[in-house]
């Protein structure tokens, strides 16, 4: 099996069937030696079981005797969608800089919009940046700022409008405050600011205090700013944008405009409930910007472990 591909077109040629995709996934997840997900035994000689007269990736563990396939515990588990369609969706998702809408993916794959929507949520979980560890440290510069994102109500379905209607206020609650933090020349992180959180608390959570912090003059940032190595502020209301060459928040503001383009251009309307998942998607895209689409695709395949969102969880209020 040739698995040398570096584009969408060559992936389609290199992996022409479901079984080719399965073998590729086995190679990526197991590194050539099958692993029983039940007891963890790594063994090249787990029993191979035939289904309907042929081997289709069903193994039986040599030790615990339980059955498994390479998709068990991944976003592909239990899906009626063929593995090859999943691979196509994964590649598209991994390579499109601004993501892809469920309507477009549905047309590309020949599945219903509801199915595509569900696949995208699973993909989004697989592409998630783990949000582990802090940004900055070592005296590096980290910029932090907040933006307000939300889809236009006019683009939302009636069902979605109903979901976000705030009875107390008598209007739609379609705006979400998102904190963004970026280490210059490094990684980014977006975190939805919940009602009981402050921007300052979020920055403290994600940024190592051994950093040079650059922000605007928001009050909660002034408070936590004192704990950092240095806190530089620009006051946009006084037309301050760059001070002493390094005090500015231009990098994070640039990232926010990327966020806006993704929301406006691709997804149109994101309800507050799903906003963090989109934040993670954009974070992953940004942080993996220097690697190729193929490597990003491979990363998504192996990051699928444990992604088993089911439809009912996603649509539950």
- Which residues sit at the interface with Zn ion, rule CB under 5 A? 36, 38-39, 41, 61, 63-64
177 phi and psi angles, rounded to 5 deg: -90, 130
219, burial (CB in 10 Å: exposed 0-12, middle 13-18, buried 19+)? exposed
What is the nearest approach in angstroms of Zn ion to the Cβ of residue 19?
23
What is the nearest approach in angstroms of Zn ion to the Cβ of residue 66?
5
- Among residues 43 and 240, whose Cβ is nearest to Zn ion? 43
Strands laid side by side in the 54-60 sheet: 47-51, 54-60, 67-68
- Among residues 77 and 240, whose Cβ is nearest to Zn ion? 77
What is the nearest approach in angstroms of Zn ion to the Cβ of residue 34?
10
- Among residues 47 and 55, whose Cβ is nearest to Zn ion? 47
What is the nearest approach in angstroms of Zn ion to the Cβ of residue 59?
9
- Among residues 71 and 249, whose Cβ is nearest to Zn ion? 71
Which residues are 54's β-sheet partners?
51
What is the nearest approach in angstroms of Zn ion to the Cβ of residue 63?
5
Mention every residue, 6+ apart, whose C-beta is less than 8 A from residue 268: 101, 151, 152, 155, 156
- Among residues 40 and 186, whose Cβ is nearest to Zn ion? 40
If phi over 0 gives left and psi between -120 and 50 gives alpha, with beta otherwise, what is residue 146?
beta
Please, are residues 34 and 46 in contact by the beta-carbon 8 Å criterion?
A: yes
């Amino acid at each position: 099996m040739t698995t040398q591909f570096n584009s969408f077109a060559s992936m389609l040629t290199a992996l022409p069937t479901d079984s080719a995709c399965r073998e590729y996934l086995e190679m990526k997840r197991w590194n050539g030696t099958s692993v029983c997900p039940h007891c963890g035994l790594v063994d090249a000689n787990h029993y191979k079981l035939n289904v309907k007269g042929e081997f289709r990736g069903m193994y039986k563990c040599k030790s615990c005797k339980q059955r498994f396939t390479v998709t068990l515990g991944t976003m592909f588990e239990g899906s009626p969608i063929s593995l090859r369609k999943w691979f196509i969706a994964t590649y598209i998702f991994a390579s499109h800089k601004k993501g892809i809408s469920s309507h477009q993916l549905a047309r590309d794959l020949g599945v219903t919009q509801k199915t595509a929507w569900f696949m995208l949520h699973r993909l989004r979980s697989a592409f998630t940046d783990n949000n582990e560890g802090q940004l900055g440290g070592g005296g590096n510069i980290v910029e932090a700022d907040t933006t307000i994102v939300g889809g236009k109500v006019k683009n939302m379905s009636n069902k979605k409008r109903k979901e976000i209607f705030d009875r107390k206020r008598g209007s739609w609650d379609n705006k979400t405050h998102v904190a963004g933090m970026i280490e210059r020349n490094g990684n980014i992180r977006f975190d939805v600011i919940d009602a009981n959180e402050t921007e300052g608390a979020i920055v403290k959570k994600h940024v190592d205090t051994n950093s040079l912090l650059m922000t605007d003059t928001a009050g909660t940032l002034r408070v936590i700013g004192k704990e950092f190595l240095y806190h530089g502020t620009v006051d946009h209301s006084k037309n301050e944008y760059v001070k002493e060459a390094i005090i500015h928040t231009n990098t994070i503001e640039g990232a926010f405009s990327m966020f806006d383009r993704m929301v406006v251009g691709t997804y149109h309307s994101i309800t507050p409930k799903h906003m963090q998942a989109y934040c993670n998607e954009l974070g992953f895209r940004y942080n993996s910007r220097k690697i190729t689409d193929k490597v990003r695709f491979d990363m998504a395949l192996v990051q699928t472990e444990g992604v088993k969102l089911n439809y009912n969880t996603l649509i539950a209020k």
